[in-house]
């Protein structure tokens, strides 16, 4: 009797992946291996091992990916200043490639012929998983059940699970789809599908709603070295602990709540509510530090790069030559992004309260409204303005000339 072929499933213990294990066995007769990627979900993952086995998995891997997630995905995106649709800090977007990377590695280790994921055919995650898999091992078969099975809704999926005695973390009465990791928590579905509906306080599981936040502000200091945050309030942390620390501080003050109708890659507009307290603090502080350490041309060009970088991350194109090239550019801009930023946190707001850097390009003597006769000759601006405005002057003279000819 020959051994069954193997498939490795990116398993979360949620509704979709819970029913995919028996579905794969029923429809492909594969041996199913489950892989759980720990990207900082903030929950005990070990119980999922037993759940996966009871659902039919032959083996379960629980992989701690937090350090790799922070150092190889979060920090490069932070340094780029990449924000999608002006608000979204890409929490789910850059978590998928780190999980898919380990999925491929385990599939190769186990000699599996296929990998599977629980992303729907409407969303972005299917693209993020599959582009990473194709980039790292183009020979692996990819199985995406949501594009294949007869299950059409979350209600159908719940019925399928109940028929097989598989416990699921959602019900028909509470149909929220949530994704949590070290960086953020996202909420979709239910009443949030109507953009007219304001999220109730019950939606927020990390952040204090701003109107319930403390009445007194709190100051926090972030220290960066070459664009990477290394200290909070003078204490040095590794990347994982630093983000956890800022999450706790920021959540208390309602920092990082975003309500957005975003443009999915597949062309659908989707309403999501995100909680990203630590990430919001870091993006704000990093931007403030860049304002005094980057020259005008570099800063403005980098803002263009940030838009493209965000699109690449959102679209699942992490392992592309362009993303790699843009990261090289970003790294070069961060050589002098070293210094300290102080922020005041108050009822959902990150308010600048101080910045300093040994590489600061800000010169008080040049910027002052006081006596600057020793360092800046204001008369020099006259020649610059004459040359800068010459094309406008020529156009105005031409209009006068044509007007005279027409009269």
pLDDT digits (tens, 9 = 90+) for 333-358: 999 999 999 999 999 999 999 999 99
The pLDDT of residue 166 is: 86
Edge-first strand listing for the sheet containing 177-180 = 177-180, 185-188, 269-275, 257-263
List residues forming the annotated binding site for L-citrulline: 88, 93, 124, 128, 177, 186, 262, 274
pTM, two decimals, is: 0.93
Same domain, 10 and 157: yes
For range 81-88, the mean pLDDT: 98
The pLDDT of residue 50 is: 93
Instruction: Read off the CATH number of the domain in which 136 is found.
Output: 3.40.50.620
The reply to whether 388 falls in a domain is no
Measure the CA–CA gap between 185 and 275, rounded to whole angstroms. 5
Q: Are 18 and 168 in contact (CB under 8 A)?
A: yes
The reply to whether 404 falls in a domain is no
Backbone conformation region of residue 370, classed left if phi is above 0, alpha if psi is from -120 to 50, else beta = beta
Q: Under DSSP, is residue 379 helix (H, G, I), strand (E, B) or coil? A: coil
Instruction: Read off the CATH number of the domain in which 309 is found.
Output: 3.90.1260.10
pLDDT digits (tens, 9 = 90+) for 367-392: 777 776 667 788 888 999 999 999 99
pLDDT digits (tens, 9 = 90+) for 95-117: 999 999 999 999 999 999 999 99
Same domain, 108 and 23: yes
Tell which wins on pLDDT, 273 or 16: 273
Angle between helices 46-55 and 15-28 (to 10 degrees): 30
Q: Are 33 and 6 in contact (CB under 8 A)?
A: yes
Statement: residue 398 has pLDDT above 90: yes
Structure tokens at 285: 């502080």
Q: Are 8 and 112 in contact (CB under 8 A)?
A: yes
The region of weakest confidence among 114-118, 170-174, 181-185 is: 170-174
Same domain, 159 and 188: no
Statement: residue 60 has pLDDT above 80: yes
The pLDDT of residue 212 is: 98
Q: Which of 49, 55, 102, 125 is an active site residue? A: 125
pLDDT confidence tier of residue 175, bands split at 50, 70 and 90: low
Same domain, 13 and 152: yes
**Residue 177 annotated in active site:** yes
Same domain, 103 and 220: no
Same domain, 100 and 146: yes
Tell me what the pLDDT averaged over the chain comes to: 94
Residue 327 has a CB neighbour count (10 Å cut-off) of 18
Same domain, 97 and 112: yes
The reply to whether 229 falls in a domain is yes
The reply to whether 103 falls in a domain is yes
The pLDDT of residue 1 is: 40
Residue ending a domain, choose from 173, 198, 224: 173
**Residue 96 annotated in active site:** yes
Whose CA is closest to 285, among 83, 70, 78? 78
List residues forming the annotated binding site: 10-18, 88, 93, 118, 120, 124-125, 128, 177, 186, 262, 274
Measure the CA–CA gap between 242 and 191, rounded to whole angstroms. 34
Same domain, 137 and 191: no
Q: Which range of residues forms the domain containing residue 283? A: 179-356
The pLDDT of residue 125 is: 96
Give me the number of domains the chain comprises: 2
Same domain, 267 and 294: yes
Same domain, 136 and 185: no
Residue where the block lists tokens 């149909």 = 175
Statement: residue 24 has pLDDT above 60: yes
The reply to whether 406 falls in a domain is no
The percent of residues above 70 in pLDDT, for the chain, comes to 97
Same domain, 202 and 109: no
């Amino acid at each position: 009797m020959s051994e069954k072929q193997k498939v490795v499933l990116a398993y979360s213990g949620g509704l979709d992946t819970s029913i995919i294990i028996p579905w794969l066995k029923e429809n492909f007769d594969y041996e199913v291996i489950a892989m759980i990627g720990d990207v900082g979900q903030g929950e005990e993952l070990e119980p999922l091992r037993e759940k996966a086995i009871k659902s039919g998995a032959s083996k379960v891997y629980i992989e701690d990916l937090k350090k790799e997630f922070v150092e190889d995905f979060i920090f490069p995106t932070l340094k780029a200043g990449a924000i999608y649709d002006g608000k979204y800090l890409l929490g789910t977007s850059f978590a998928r490639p780190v999980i898919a990377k380990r999925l491929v590695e385990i599939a190769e280790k186990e000699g599996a012929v296929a990998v599977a994921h629980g992303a729907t055919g409407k969303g972005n995650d299917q693209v993020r998983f599959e582009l990473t898999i194709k980039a790292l091992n183009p020979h692996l078969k990819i199985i995406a059940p949501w594009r294949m099975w007869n299950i059409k809704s979350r209600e159908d999926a719940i019925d399928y699970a109940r028929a097989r005695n598989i416990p699921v973390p959602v019900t028909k009465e509470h149909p929220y789809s949530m994704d949590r990791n070290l960086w953020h928590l996202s909420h979709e579905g239910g009443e949030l599908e109507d953009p007219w509906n304001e999220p109730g306080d019950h939606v927020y599981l990390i952040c204090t709603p701003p109107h319930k936040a403390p009445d007194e502000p709190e100051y926090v200091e972030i220290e960066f070295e070459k664009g990477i945050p290394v200290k909070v309030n003078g204490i040095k942390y590794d990347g994982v602990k630093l983000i956890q620390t800022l999450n706790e501080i920021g959540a208390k003050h309602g920092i990082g709540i975003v309500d957005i109708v975003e443009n999915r890659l597949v062309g659908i507009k989707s309403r999501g509510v995100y909680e990203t307290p630590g990430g919001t603090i870091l993006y704000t502080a990093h931007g403030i530090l860049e304002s005094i350490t980057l020259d005008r041309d570099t800063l403005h060009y980098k803002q263009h790069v940030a838009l493209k970088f965000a699109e690449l991350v959102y679209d699942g194109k992490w392992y592309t030559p362009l993303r790699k090239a843009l990261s090289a550019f970003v790294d070069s801009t961060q050589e002098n992004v070293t210094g300290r930023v102080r922020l005041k946190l108050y009822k959902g707001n990150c308010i600048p309260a101080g910045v300093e850097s040994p590489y600061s390009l800000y010169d008080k003597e040049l910027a002052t409204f006081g006596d600057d006769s020793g360092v800046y000759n204001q008369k020099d601006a006259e020649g610059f303005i004459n040359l800068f405005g010459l094309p406008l002057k020529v156009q105005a003279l031409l209009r006068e000339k044509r007007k005279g000819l027409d009269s």
